[in-house]
Amino acid sequence: MEIATLAGGCFWCVEAVLQQTDGVEGITSGYMGGSIPNPTYEQVCTGTTGHAEVTQVTFDPERISHSALLDSFWKLHDPTTLNRQGNDVGTQYRSAIFFHSDEQQQTAERSRKTLEESDAFDDPIVTEIVPATTFYPAEDYHQNYYRSNREQPYCHYVITPKLEKLGMEE
């Protein structure tokens, strides 16, 4: 198994999509990239901790490559909006790939370059590719959020349409 850590806006959205990706064995929502140890959700929401909402993904490289995982990542959010995904605004919602090895860094940089050269977006890609730092799991109520809270308004109006657009199970 390998670990990938991805930030693409609200971790609930990223988790809901990647849970349905073949080869993904586990996902933990959490925080990474900031200076505050053991941050709480309330602290991260202030935008002053430097942490991003992330999903730490455990995947089987025999079933899905890091490159293929990144292909899913690019589709599940808008990598051209700086510190924002939809109505979620702040540095905690930035787009980032936190790499765990030189190989993951190279794969991420190739993947971003390929996407930039494809002209898939009108605006430049702002996704950071940075070394992984300490991962802090989010509080228990954030784990498996969509599956446990489908009728919650955010899930209903933001996550469900995203899953529909990607042709995934709601």
**Domains in the chain: ranges and CATH:** 2-165 (3.30.1060.10)
Tokens 């990239």 locate to 33
CB 9 within 8 A of CB 127: no
pLDDT at 42: 97
Paired strand residues for 89: 84
Average pLDDT by stretches of 10, the chain with 170 residues: 97 95 96 97 96 98 97 94 93 98 98 94 96 98 94 90 86
The H or E element that residue 165 is part of is: helix 160-165
Provide the token pair at 94: 């930035």
pLDDT at 15: 97
Burial of 141 (0-12, 13-18, 19+ CB in 10 A): exposed
> CA 56 to CA 5: how far, in whole Å?
4
Output DSSP code: residue 38.
Answer: S
In the residue annotation, 13 being an active-site residue is answered as no
Give the global pTM. Answer: 0.96
Q: Which of 10, 13, 45, 155 is catalytic?
A: 10
> CA 27 to CA 4: how far, in whole Å?
10
Q: Residues near 75 by Cβ (< 8 Å), separated by ≥ 6?
A: 166
pLDDT at 168: 86
| Separation of CA 84 from chain center | 12
pLDDT at 8: 97
